[in-house]
Structure 1
Amino acid sequence: MKQRVRAVLITPRNTTLVMKRVRPGSDPYWVIVGGGVEETDATREDALLREVREEIAGDGEIIRLLHEMENAKGEKEYFYLARVHTWDFADRTGPEFARDDRGEYVLEEIPLTTKAIANLNLLPEEISTVLRDAIERGDLLAL
């Protein structure tokens, strides 16, 4: 079974970074930074830090596993809570950015509030609910 890892990235300003996807013929949507675990990755956590480096040229620190789920494709997805100290979207290196058929990727920094998360078409929907619930409980910023 294919495994995917994603990072709920908390910035020094206690905001989060999300990727806005703009594809021709569909409404924009947002996703959490991350991607597939590769055979060369020693652990899921190593895969996650590699994805953060590739997608946002970021320096991340994993705090803990936040949520896991199975997606519609039958892949296991692991969502980690992580701190990101530095990033430079202009220096991203992920292979998906070289493909013209993938549409646009826009990195956005948003407030960690239930309203800000609810206003995004954040996919998968389950992680949007998990994040809003964690924000309401105060679980995300108590690091």
Structure 2
Amino acid sequence: MQHRVRAVLVTPNDTMLLIKRIRPGIAPYWVIVGGKVEPTDASPEDALSREVREEVAGEARIVGLLHSIETDDERQDFYLATIEKWDFENRSGPEFSQEGRGEYLLEEIPLTTEALDALNLLPQEIATVLCEAVARGDLATAR
């Protein structure tokens, strides 16, 4: 089973960092920073820290596990994390240099249900979980 980790990155501006994906022939969609746990990663949290460094050139403070989605062949763990600084221009993930992968745009999204509802955030299950967490004020308390 493939194991992936994702970081719901809350900024000091009360926003969340998301990656907008633009691919030929597909409507734009947004994803949460993260990726596959590699055999060389000491733990899922170490994999998450590595992914944040690769994808946004930043350091995250992991608050805790927010939600998990499991299918027959994949498990995705979504962690709530905070981030103070990032430099998307200095990202280093291998996917950014692969031909045909489309565009990756980093966006700061306000921590509001209206802002989240306006996005095609995938997977849909995490979009619902995040809207509910924002409505309860759970994400704002991460800082």
After TM superposition, the score normalised by the length of structure 2 is: 0.97
- The alpha-carbon deviation at position 80 of structure 1 amounts to 0.3
Deviating beyond 2 angstroms after TM superposition, the runs of 4 or more aligned structure 1 residues are none
Write the letter of the residue equivalent to 1:91.
Answer: N
Match of 1:123 in 2: 122
Alignment of 1:1-143 (within 5 A): 1-71=1-71, 74-143=73-142
- The alpha-carbon deviation at position 74 of structure 1 amounts to 2.3
Mark the runs of 5 or more structure 2 residues left unpaired by the alignment: none
Question: Any idea what SS the aligned residue of 1:53 has?
Answer: helix
Write the letter of the residue equivalent to 1:60.
Answer: A
Once residues 121 and 73 of structure 2 are traced to their aligned partners in structure 1, the CA distance between those partners, rounded to angstroms, is 19
Question: Any idea what SS the aligned residue of 1:22 has?
Answer: strand
- The alpha-carbon deviation at position 85 of structure 1 amounts to 1.1
Once residues 42 and 20 of structure 1 are traced to their aligned partners in structure 2, the CA distance between those partners, rounded to angstroms, is 29
Mark the runs of 5 or more structure 1 residues left unpaired by the alignment: none
After TM superposition, the score normalised by the length of structure 1 is: 0.97
Question: Any idea what SS the aligned residue of 1:132 has?
Answer: helix
Question: Any idea what SS the aligned residue of 1:134 has?
Answer: helix
Question: Any idea what SS the aligned residue of 1:133 has?
Answer: helix
- Coordinate RMSD, CA, aligned: 0.9
Aligned length: 142
Question: Any idea what SS the aligned residue of 1:13 has?
Answer: coil
